[in-house]
Amino acid sequence: MRNLKFIVSAAVVGALVGITAATAADLPARTYTKAPVYVEPAFNWSGFYVGGNIGYSWGRSGNTAEISDLATGVILDTATSRNDVNGVIGGAQFGYNWQISNWVAGFEADVQGSGERGSTAFTCVACGNGGGDITSTLTQKLSWFGTVRGRAGVLVTPTILLYGTGGLAYGEIDTGGSITGGTLQGPLNTVLFPGLNSTQVGWAAGAGIEGRISGNWTMKLEYLYMDLGTVSAGPIATNILVPPRTNAGASYSSHFTDNILRVGFNYLLNAPVVAKY
């Protein structure tokens, strides 16, 4: 009896195993799908951009001052000097880039506020009517400036640009000062120069490096040399005496140049590239 039960049980188990194997054979082969791999889109420099910057300027002013006989126009003394006109600058810029392969070209315009100031002094020894000295000072301030420049450069990597730049520069130079010397009554007198606000036009050129930092943001380090030309005034009438007991005239001219180093940030306004998987 026990043998019969064992035989029946073995037959049932065998049948079940056979059915399971047949069912498994009819199932399709299992397939595996890999997770998508993110591909970083290539950075494209083409398009408009806007940004801001901050930096420092080392300005230089080459000055000439003249003391003359106001009545005859005869120049009695000429002195020259150079002085620094330094200060912090900051402003905003916008521009456009065209990228062709590894080359990028475009234009940029910027406007800067400036804290650049400086002064210089002149002494005309023994040129006063009684043999005394005549001294004068000249003060200058660059209130603001701007540039409109072309840019062109090469990509050393897809996200780092080396470029050169150059073009138009303009700015407002405020000039003042004073002159001190003897008068007909004998005591020294100081006469203030009338303030001169001159909007100058010149040129600027330089170079820089710009690189992507995140998304459409880039950061740049840039150097510019700027030349705003010459401002001048005079002869300015004074009641300071020069021989032979006549009023002195004072004249000056200043040639302003600047060395600018600044750090800037730009946001590229081109449409983002859609990542593909």
The residue length of the chain stands at: 277
Give the residue carrying structure tokens 């900051």. 90
* Cα–Cα nearest to 168, from 135, 145, 184, 137: 145
Which pLDDT score is estimated for 22?
A: 46
Which pLDDT score is estimated for 274?
A: 41
SS3 content of the chain, % helix, strand, coil (to 5): 10, 70, 20
Give Dmax (Cα) for the chain: 156
Q: Around 149, how many Cα atoms within 13 Å sit in the side-chain half-sphere?
A: 26
Tell the CATH topology of 44-268.
Answer: Porin (2.40.160)
Which pLDDT score is estimated for 34?
A: 60
Domain residue spans of the chain: 44-268
Which pLDDT score is estimated for 238?
A: 84
- Looking only at the bridges linking them, the beta strands covering 47-69 and 246-268 are antiparallel
Distance CA 126, CA 135 (A): 10
What does the block give as tokens for 117?
């100031």
CA dihedral 125, 128, 132, 133 (to 10 degrees): -40
Would you give per-residue pLDDT tens digits along the chain (277 residues)?
444 444 434 444 444 444 444 444 554 555 555 655 544 567 899 999 999 999 999 999 999 888 888 888 888 888 888 999 999 999 999 999 999 999 999 999 999 999 999 999 888 888 887 778 888 899 999 999 999 999 999 999 999 999 999 999 999 999 988 888 887 666 788 888 887 888 999 999 999 999 999 999 999 999 999 999 999 888 888 888 888 878 888 888 999 999 999 999 999 998 554 444 3
Residues 190, 180: contact at Cβ < 8 Å?
A: yes
Which pLDDT score is estimated for 26?
A: 53
